[in-house]
Amino acid sequence: MTGINKVGVVGLGTMGAGIVEVFARNGVEVLGVEITEAALERGRQTLRSSTDRAVAKGKLSEADRDALHDRVSFKVGLPALDDVDLVIEAVPERLELKRAIFAELDKVCKPTAILATNTSSLSVTEISVATHRPNRVIGMHFFNPAPIMKLVEIVRTVVTEQSVVDDIEALCTRLGKVDVTISDRAGFIANALLFGYLNHAVSLYESKYASREDIDAAMRQGCGLPMGPLALMDLIGIDTAYEILDTMYKRGGRDRRHAPVPLIKQMVTAGLLGRKSGRGFYTYEKPSSPVVV
């Protein structure tokens, strides 16, 4: 049995808030950390609306929701993480930002704590060497929406201790997740396969070969996927998708399949970030309802 009883999550955006929910739903005490009160409040609201939706759908009782919230605390600043057994970092995909956070976590967390990154495309090894404990650093890559998607990619580097891998694999089982353990390469398994496809879908749309609805319908109705690629880009976040593609392009030998299609960068610059900003390839009135404009 793993000795992971209290977990910290750094960064409470879409993924971080979802990861907090995963732990709290499965009986684990969790501390969500952000850099400002406003960001903390956004994370708290994301958790609140997700659990309220589950209550409204009859999937969670009010008592269980309240117990879930009792297991969660929120604080500003990394020093609050001094007593956790595991930290999962889920900040934006920028290497220097993640390295700075890991250097700080190394100072404030107890020496036995495992430090995990939710990075989807950056090098876990490069992040780990910002600490004095690279043997206790690992990748834990969740999928969006984290409370729903079963997969966690566990990324071991050449120096990750076997006992750390064992603990994280046991933890994933405890969380009801399906894990795959792999080595450190750009995009791991799922994103390495997914993002060339998403980029290609944007290129078909950008060249006006097909409408967004037809592209998405083709993949839903013809290939049985739960959502089409442009709707999925909106769910992932256009900015996140851009960062992942750009990193995979640069780290993965400049494979042109991963060279971000220009429209993606233009959308990021214009603030069309997908569901989280209310508009991406589609327009959203509220988080899960696309509106054709």
Which residues are designated catalytic? 120, 141, 153, 191
Q: Which is nearer to ligand 3HC, 145 or 252 (CB)?
A: 145
Residue 94 near residue 239, CB atoms below 8 Å: no
Candidates 1, 35, 30; CA nearest to 17 is: 30
Q: What is the 3-state secondary structure (H, E, C) of 202-246?
A: HHHHHCCCCCHHHHHHHHHHHHCCCCCHHHHHHHHCHHHHHHHHH
Near ligand 3HC in 56-75, by CB under 6 A: 57, 59
Q: Which long-range contacts (C-beta less than 8 Å, at least 24 apart) are formed by 21-27? A: 21/47, 21/50, 21/51, 21/68, 21/146, 21/147, 22/142, 22/146, 22/147, 22/175, 22/177, 23/71, 23/175, 24/68, 24/69, 24/71, 24/72, 25/68, 25/147, 26/174, 26/175, 26/176, 27/71
Which of 226, 256, 286, 293 lies at the binding interface for ligand 3HC (CB under 6 A)? 226
Q: Phi and psi for 227 in degrees, rounded to 5?
A: -145, 155
CB of 136 to ligand 3HC, least distance (A): 23
Cα–Cα distance list, 23 to 26, 27, 53, 111, 171 (Å):
5, 7, 18, 22, 10
Residue 132 beta carbon to ligand 3HC: minimum distance, rounded to whole angstroms: 28
By CB under 6 A, name the one of 191, 233, 258, 261 that touches ligand 3HC.
Answer: 191
Per CB under 6 A, the list member of 2, 135, 144, 203 interacting with ligand 3HC is 144
Which helix (H) or strand (E) is 73 found in, with range? Answer: strand 72-76
Sole binder of ligand 3HC in the list 50, 123, 125, 199 (CB under 6 A): 50
Rounded to the nearest whole angstrom, what is the least distance from the CB of residue 70 to ligand 3HC in the complex? 20
Q: Which is nearer to ligand 3HC, 85 or 143 (CB)?
A: 143
Contact with ligand 3HC (CB under 6 A) among 27, 48, 70, 148: 148
Q: Is 120 in the site for ligand 3HC (CB under 6 A)?
A: yes
- Report the residue number, 208 or 286, with the smaller CB distance to ligand 3HC: 286
Nearer to ligand 3HC, 5 or 61 (CB): 61
The residue (of 81 and 91) whose beta carbon lies closer to ligand 3HC is 91
Query: Applying CB under 6 A, does 281 fall inside the site for ligand 3HC?
Result: no
Measured in degrees and rounded to the nearest 5, phi and psi for residue 66 equal -65, -40
* Residue of 105, 116, 204, 236 interacting with ligand 3HC (CB under 6 A): 236
- Which residues of this protein are in contact with ligand 3HC, per CB under 6 A? 50, 53, 57, 59, 120, 143-145, 147-149, 191, 194, 226-227, 232, 236, 240, 288
